[in-house]
Amino acid sequence: MEETRNITRAIFEGWHDYQQLLIEAIAPLQEDDLERRAASHLRSVGENAQHIIAARAYWFHRLMGEGGEQFASLATWDDQGAPSRSAEELVKGLEQTWRGMHMAIDSWSDEDWQQTWPGRGNAPEAITRQWIIWHLIEHDLHHGGEISLTLGIHNVAAPPL
């Protein structure tokens, strides 16, 4: 049991470190940096950041009912026609979703961890909280990698994501 706790702690610490790298990468960017794309048909740096924020709010609020209305409003940040956000807004969105997710996780009982929801699309038939957490970790890593690659293509310095 202690080994499982240590592994879980290490996973969450790694995710926290990655959250900090995302913030360090986004915070100094100007509007033109946020609009940069690796290719014309791919999301811009800012759109990728908005997508990370929106996915966190979607899974935690819309699916699991966690967080309040301000948290819920972040789930629309990557809807078609959503306005572009400044680096400052993106950092606040990353921080707000991070706090909201971890407040929820800290409050879950053993019974809460057993709750499931019906899956859709590429998700499994029954979605668990563990699946949602892993999905968001891999989602952050994937789209954070896109941010890193795009900034690198355009010779914009950023921490290694």
Residues 6+ apart with CB under 8 A from 25: 144, 147, 148, 151, 158, 159, 161
Q: pLDDT-based confidence at 70, cuts 50/70/90?
A: confident
**Can you give the pLDDT at residue 2?**
67
Mean pLDDT of 13-42: 97
Shortest CA distance to 56 belongs to which of 118, 133, 121, 122?
Answer: 133
Report d(CA 56, CA 102) in Å as an integer: 11
Q: pLDDT-based confidence at 123, cuts 50/70/90?
A: confident
Residues 6+ apart with CB under 8 A from 42: 146, 150
Phi, psi for 156 (deg, rounded to 5): -100, 120
Whether the predicted pLDDT of 159 surpasses 90: no
Percent over 90 (pLDDT), the chain: 79
Here the tokens at position 7 are 């592994």
Instruction: Among 126-130, 145-149, 150-154, name the one with the lowest average pLDDT.
Output: 126-130
Average pLDDT, the chain: 93
Phi, psi for 22 (deg, rounded to 5): -60, -45
pTM, full prediction: 0.94
